Amino acid sequence: LTVSITHIEHIGIAVQDLERSVAFYEKTYGLRCYGIEEVPDQQVRTAFFRVGETKIELLASTSPDGPIARFLERRGEGMHHLAFAVDGLGETLRHVQDAGVELIDARPRPGAEGLQIAFLHPRSTHGVLTELCSEKES
């Protein structure tokens, strides 16, 4: 069993107001938002920017008790998670679980941009909420 991380797929940033934050990234950094998408499963609206091979994913909550709303309440706006692109998400999850990592998602679920995703608990990843993504479930 091996893990093949190909690149940092995106960095997730929790924001209070998606439109205002998109405007900030566009105006300040000259980046262009190429997509806004609601992900009902995670109770978020997301906005994406390409930065080289990786992306910035802004996340705003669509529900007062969703995971991003709770994060904002506790920690305020800021870096929320790091997402690695992997080959074979199902196999990677089994591998990291065997390595002792606590999984938030025991199996892949649908994320933004048609990707399959799963989160690892920051308790067992040195404090970084980590998302694994792949093009399709394996």
Site for Zn ion, rule CB under 5 A: 12, 57, 83, 131
Give the start-end residues of each E strand in 62-129.
Answer: 78-86, 109-110, 116-120
Instruction: Give the residue among 66, 63, 50, 61 at the shortest CA–CA distance from 11.
Output: 50
Residue whose CB is less far from Zn ion, 83 or 120: 83
Residue whose CB is less far from Zn ion, 1 or 107: 107
Quote the DSSP letter at residue 122.
G
| Shortest CB 29 distance to Zn ion, Å | 19
Angle at 6 between CA 51 and CA 94, to 5 degrees: 130
Q: For Zn ion, which residue has the nearest CB?
A: 12
Residue whose CB is less far from Zn ion, 1 or 80: 80
Q: Are 104 and 118 in contact (CB under 8 A)?
A: yes
| Shortest CB 83 distance to Zn ion, Å | 4
| Shortest CB 115 distance to Zn ion, Å | 9
| Shortest CB 25 distance to Zn ion, Å | 16
Residue whose CB is less far from Zn ion, 50 or 98: 50
- Residue 30: phi and psi, rounded to 5, are 70, 20
